[in-house]
Amino acid sequence: MTEEIVVERKIPVSRACKITSLARSQYYFHPTKDDSEVIHALQDLAFEHPSYGFRKLFAYLRRAGKTWNRKKVHRVYKLLKLNKRRKGKRRLPARVKQPLTKQPTINKSWSMDFMCDTMVHGRKFRSFNVIDDCSREALAIEVDTSISSKRVIRTLERIIDIHGKPEAIRVDNGPEFTSKDFELWAKENEIRIQYIQPGKPMQNGYIERFNRLYREAVLDAYLFFDLYQVKQLTEEWIREYNERRPHEGLNNLTPVEWKNNILVNENTLE
């Protein structure tokens, strides 16, 4: 900026430095270090090998015949912030599209998902929702500030003790569902996990519709001051949803009525 004033307005350097609050020694100073070649070389190597640290990159430069001083290369390395830990993306295996079909009986398939909201004082909380794909019955809504994969397993074990074991569970690719603990638990219990494809929530349509109803009726309808209030309102809404609210997809029966009809038909066939 000072140089532009001197050139364009043709005023003395001392006056231009006074206007811009720049020392004259700084104006006349021209750095002799040219690190452009080191910068380009380090950037190319870091892009090609993002997981390598300074020692490995410096060894690559040495093998390429570069004779730059180690301290110089390390200075540029820190200048480029390559010494900061870079978090890589979590790689997911290829997911095969699982058709969302209407289940003929209960416990054939369950759907699960997480939701989040905030209390009045700003603290966030999560809800872990589980439904049966056949009867659309709300099997559980677990509410807490933090829900780990082990908490998910404990909740599912409690549901299984009451309703029986499902053949499959449909979930997204959240860290709680892709954890080793959850996958091992499902394998030990002979429960098939049906992962939807990343970015395709419509493949988990039953639970997504349930989430919308829960948000409209509870999460968006009230201001929450503590977790106890959230849990109490959630329990009341679950009873309303399962026992009194007619469901169009179930011929305007409630989930409990639809479930009872299926159990009666199965007993009759036996």
- φ/ψ bin of 107: left (φ > 0), alpha (ψ from -120 to 50), beta (otherwise): left
Distance CA 141, CA 143 (A): 6
Neighbours of 258 (CB within 10 A): 21
Q: Evaluate whether 2 touches 22 at the Cβ level (below 8 Å).
A: yes
At 20 the pLDDT is 77
Q: Which element (helix H / strand E) includes 83?
A: none
For residue 192, pLDDT beyond 90: yes
- Cβ-in-10-Å burial (0-12, 13-18, 19+) of 224 comes to buried
At 9 the pLDDT is 66
Residue 85's pLDDT band, with cuts at 50, 70 and 90, is low
Residue 120's pLDDT band, with cuts at 50, 70 and 90, is very high
Q: Evaluate whether 85 touches 180 at the Cβ level (below 8 Å).
A: no
At 160 the pLDDT is 97
Q: What is the dihedral of CA 262, 136, 159, 111, to 10 degrees?
A: 120
For residue 270, pLDDT beyond 70: no
More confident residue, 5 or 129: 129
- Residue owning tokens 């001083």: 69
At 233 the pLDDT is 97
- Cβ-in-10-Å burial (0-12, 13-18, 19+) of 204 comes to buried
For residues 168-185, average pLDDT: 95
Residue 266's pLDDT band, with cuts at 50, 70 and 90, is confident
Residues near 7 by Cβ (< 8 Å), separated by ≥ 6? none
For residues 241-264, average pLDDT: 92
For residue 199, pLDDT beyond 70: yes
pTM of this structure: 0.67
More confident residue, 170 or 85: 170
Structure tokens, 266: 């199965």
For residues 98-122, average pLDDT: 92
Buried b (16+ CB within 10 A) or exposed e, 112-124: bbbbebebeeeee
- DSSP H helices in the chain: 2-9, 13-19, 24-28, 36-48, 54-63, 70-79, 149-163, 180-188, 205-214, 227-243, 255-269
pLDDT digits (tens, 9 = 90+) for 39-73: 989 988 988 888 788 999 999 999 999 999 999 99
Q: Does domain 109-269 have CATH number 3.30.420.10?
A: yes
For residue 107, pLDDT beyond 70: yes
At 117 the pLDDT is 96
pLDDT digits (tens, 9 = 90+) for 5-29: 666 667 787 777 777 777 777 767 6
For residue 131, pLDDT beyond 60: yes
At 265 the pLDDT is 81
Tell me how long the chain is.
Answer: 270
Residue 4's pLDDT band, with cuts at 50, 70 and 90, is low
Domain with CATH 3.30.420.10 in the chain: 109-269
